[in-house]
Each structure stands twice: as structure tokens, then as C-alpha cells.
Amino acid sequence: DTAVSQTPKYLVTQMGNDKSIKCEQNLGHDTMYWYKQDSKKFLKIMFSYNNKELIINETVPNRFSPKSPDKAHLNLHINSLELGDSAVYFCASGGTATNEKLFFGSGTQLSVL
């Protein structure tokens, strides 16, 4: 069983479109995250979310929004996609005081044409 799964694995779309990436974790963690890996492999946190608080990295454009229907899911919605949004997006869960390890999904490679 995959601990953190995200879909789709690849996403190719046109500039200006709106798209979503889904993430699910079956680890029972309270906190989930989205990270972005750019073309130079640099990883940076975008959001941290649990049922009590959403923390947004201030560098993330407001076209990006996380949506959590329940504790096991954190989806990433992106509006008005731009060329610069092309990257690999990783979902993760864990990282709390009692579950300090962070587990990552396998990534979604987004290509904006």
C-alpha cells in the first residue's frame, strides 16, 4: 500500500487553464504539505495544513490553493496556469511532534505549454 499517493503523475496543460492535483495519505497523519521542485531540483515548501491551521509560504502566488475535504486528503488547485508553474509538485504528510518523519508522494510533473 502506498503511504502517500498523488495523481496524476504527469500533467500537461495550456497556459491559462485551471488544474488540480490530488493527494491522499493512509498514514493517519494530521498534517499534510505541498512542496515544489523546480527544474534545478530545488525543493521548497508551499503549504502546511492540518485541521487547525493553514500556513502558506508567502512566496506562493494566490493562484495556488490547497483544499482538504478530510484529514487524509490535501488537493492542490492552480488557477490561470503560467509557464513558470512548470515543476514537479510533491505532496507529503507527517512532520508533527509525534510523527516527525515526513513522507513524500512520488510527485506530479506539471508541464505548462
Partner 1 sequence: GEDVEQSLFLSVREGDSSVINCTYTDSSSTYLYWYKQEPGAGLQLLTYIFSNMDMKQDQRLTVLLNKKDKHLSLRIADTQTGDSAIYFCAESKRYGGSQGNLIFGKGTKLSVKP
CB-nearer residue toward partner 1: 13 or 57? 57
* 106 lines the binding site for partner 1 (CB under 8 A): yes
Query: Is residue 102 part of the contact set for partner 1 (CB under 8 A)?
Result: yes
61 to 100, contacts with partner 1 by CB under 8 A?
90, 92, 94-97, 100
User: Min. distance of Cβ 94 from partner 1 in angstroms?
Assistant: 7
Residue selected from 63, 67, 77, 101 as contacting partner 1 according to rule CB under 8 A: 101
Q: With respect to partner 1, which residue has the nearer C-beta, 45 or 72?
A: 45
Burial class from Cβ neighbours inside 10 Å (0-12, 13-18, 19+) for residue 102 reads: middle
CA dist., res. 25 & res. 74, Å (int) = 9
Distances (CA, A) of 43 to 5, 35, 40, 89, 107: 18, 7, 9, 9, 12
Q: What is the dihedral of CA 43, 96, 22, 64, to 10 degrees?
A: -60
Burial 74-101 (b: 16+ CB within 10 A, else e): bbbebeebeeebbbbbbbbbbbeeeeee
Kindly write out the interface string for residues 27-66 of this chain, putting x where it contacts partner 1 by CB under 8 A and - elsewhere: ----x-x-x----xxxxxx--x-x-xx-x-----------
Query: Which residues would be at the binding site for partner 1 (CB under 8 A)?
Result: 31, 33, 35, 40-45, 48, 50, 52-53, 55, 90, 92, 94-97, 100-107
